[in-house]
Every structure is written in C-alpha cells, then in structure tokens.
C-alpha cells in the first residue's frame, strides 16, 4: 500500500487536540441493496489486508508482520459481515446518522457511538500491543501519571511521547515498530500521547466509544454496527489527513459501500513530514511506523474504551 500524508506541524506536536469542533452530518443514502449480502464489500477490502511497501524498508516491515500472517487466513469477517448486511441491517444504514468531528471539543460534543481516530500513532500502538497479547492498554493524560501507574502494575510497559518526540527514560516512544519488538504478552500497556489519549478522554457519550485506527478500521465498523446505533460520530484526534482518511473509509463501510483507501492517503505522501520520517530523520519515529500504521484492516478486533477508576482502558473485542 502506498503511504499517506501528514503535515509537519502535527509531528511537531502543534495543535494536536484542536480547541474547536468541525462537524459534518451525513445520512446514508439508502443504496445499500447494490451490495447484496455485503460479501462483495468485504471481498474487495480483504484484498487490502497486506501492505505493499514500495520503498527501501520493505524487508524490515515484512519481518515485523511475518509472525502474524497465519492469523490473516483465519479472519472471521465474512460471516459477521453477512449478518450485518442482512435486510434489517440494511434498513439501519438508511437511517443512521454519521457525524464527523475533530479534536477535544468535537469529542466533548460527540453523540451516539463514538470512534476517536489516531492513526499516527497512538491507537495503532494500542492495536499492535493487544494483538501481541497485552492484557489491556490504559490511557493517561500525563507522563508523570504514566510513570506512577506503571510502578503500581507488575510488569507494566509505558509507551509515551511529548509533541511526537521521545521522552528520556521511557524506552517506547509511541512507536508501533518498538511495541512489536517488546514482550507485551500478558502485560498492561500504559499510554500517554499528545492527541489520541486526551481526545478519547473528552468523550462524554454513554452509548459506547472506541479507539480507532486504520489497522482496526473494518473491525471497528463491525463492532459499531453490531450495537445498532442511530448515530455514529467519527472523531479525528487532530486535523490531519491520515485521521480524516480513516474516518472517510469507516464512513463508507458504515454505509455498506466500498472505497479505495489509497487516494484518501495521498495528501500524506506529499508532505515534508512524510518525507522526513521516511528519511529516518524524526527521533523516535522510524520509517517502519508508517508502514505498520497504514496496514489497512490488519487486525480482526475492535478496541472498545471503558472508564474505570478514573482511567480509560482499551481491550480487544472480537464479535462471536
């Protein structure tokens, strides 16, 4: 898969949790009959599960993904999507509102089932950790809270950054590449990031919330539809093209439609930020993070978020 566009300001950490909401309401247009039982919909985007790197980092990415390949062949998508796309579900597509919002204020005003999207890189890190066997991911707003909490949980691992840069003394800097190399099985991941964690923390809706990213996009849509919501709000954690691309991709799936993710990610490829990361010039942000983050529908689980003890906890959820 070709990689996509991000702007320099985002990686520099400026305005990641924007103090405004940009909201666009779209109602499904009722043309879902075109896709019959939804098998065609899934058949097409299942073909995109494997990334197709075209750069010098291909071998490194292949090594990182190789261990998970057997799982891809056994994904239980078709049966679940046929259930979701049955006539009763198709009628739901015709009445469900899909709302787009951005940042902390967008999250605070979000209604219905809420998905907060952070592709680069917080909720991609969460997904790779859970896929690697982590018990859960706990999201905290500050680095000090991350350190204090990790001290209380035996074997806990911290993943944290400030303004998209590594923090001295913390080994894993919000990097999916680093998390795939860590021994996370049976452990708790404590996460702090500049955009994703505070935006998810701002959600007030009680109808359900999810952490979203491209690697779990399809499964997250599946989990949303299983709740039969009247409204789904897709919140980009920041005003950046990779989060908007993920939101548009998920919106299409919520409508029962197909969409090519590659053109949606084109703005990312044309930025200085992208080129800087791919050149290996961004501390704590190896080029392989981009490949891992843009591996569309890599995993077959969603990440519902639950509040407990004043914290937000993510766990893997697979539909039975």
Mean pLDDT, consecutive 10-residue stretches, the chain (320 aa), reads 39 37 42 35 39 47 49 43 44 79 97 97 97 97 94 96 89 94 97 92 95 98 96 96 97 95 95 92 93 97 93 92
Helix 77-84 to helix 39-46 angle (10° resolution) is 140
Q: Tokens representing 10?
A: 């985002």
- pLDDT score recorded for residue 93: 57
Which residues have C-beta within 8 Å of that of residue 162, sequence separation ≥ 6? 13, 143, 194
- pLDDT score recorded for residue 319: 82
- pLDDT score recorded for residue 33: 36
Domain boundary assignment for the chain: 8-128+205-314
> How many other C-beta atoms are found inside a 10 Å radius of the C-beta of residue 34?
10
- pLDDT score recorded for residue 63: 53
Question: Cα torsion at 139, 141, 278, 116 (round to 10°)?
Answer: 60
- pLDDT score recorded for residue 164: 84
- pLDDT score recorded for residue 92: 54
Which residues have C-beta within 8 Å of that of residue 56, sequence separation ≥ 6? none
pTM of the predicted model as reported, rounded to 2 decimal places: 0.74
């Amino acid at each position: 898969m070709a990689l996509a566009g991000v702007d320099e300001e985002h990686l520099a950490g400026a305005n990641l949790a924007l103090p405004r909401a940009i909201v666009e309401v779209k109602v499904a247009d009722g043309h879902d009959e075109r896709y019959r039982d939804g098998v065609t919909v899934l058949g097409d985007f299942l073909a995109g599960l494997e990334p197709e790197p075209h750069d010098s980092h291909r071998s490194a990415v292949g090594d990182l993904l190789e261990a998970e390949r057997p799982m891809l062949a056994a994904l239980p998508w078709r049966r679940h999507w046929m259930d979701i796309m049955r006539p009763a579900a198709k009628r739901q597509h015709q009445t469900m509102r899909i709302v787009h919002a951005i940042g902390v204020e967008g999250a605070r005003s979000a209604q219905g089932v809420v998905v907060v999207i952070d592709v680069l890189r917080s909720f991609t890190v969460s997904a790779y950790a859970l896929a690697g066997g982590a018990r859960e991911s706990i999201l905290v707003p500050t680095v000090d809270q991350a350190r204090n909490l990790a001290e209380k949980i035996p074997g806990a691992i911290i993943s944290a950054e400030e303004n998209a840069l590594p923090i001295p003394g913390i080994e894993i800097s919000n990097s999916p590449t680093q998390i795939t190399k860590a021994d996370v099985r049976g452990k708790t991941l404590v996460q702090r990031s500049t955009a994703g964690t505070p935006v998810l923390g701002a959600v007030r809706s009680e109808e359900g919330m999810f952490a979203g990213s491209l690697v779990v996009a399809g499964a997250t849509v599946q989990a949303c539809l299983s709740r039969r919501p009247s409204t789904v709000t897709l919140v980009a954690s920041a005003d950046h093209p990779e989060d908007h691309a993920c939101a548009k991709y998920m919106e299409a799936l919520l409508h029962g439609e197909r969409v090519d993710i590659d053109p949606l990610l084109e703005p990312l490829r044309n930025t200085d930020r992208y080129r800087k990361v791919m050149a290996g010039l961004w501390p704590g942000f190896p080029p392989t993070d981009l490949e891992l983050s843009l591996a569309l529908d890599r995993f077959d689980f969603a990440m519902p978020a639950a509040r407990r003890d004043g914290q937000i906890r993510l766990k893997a959820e697979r539909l039975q």
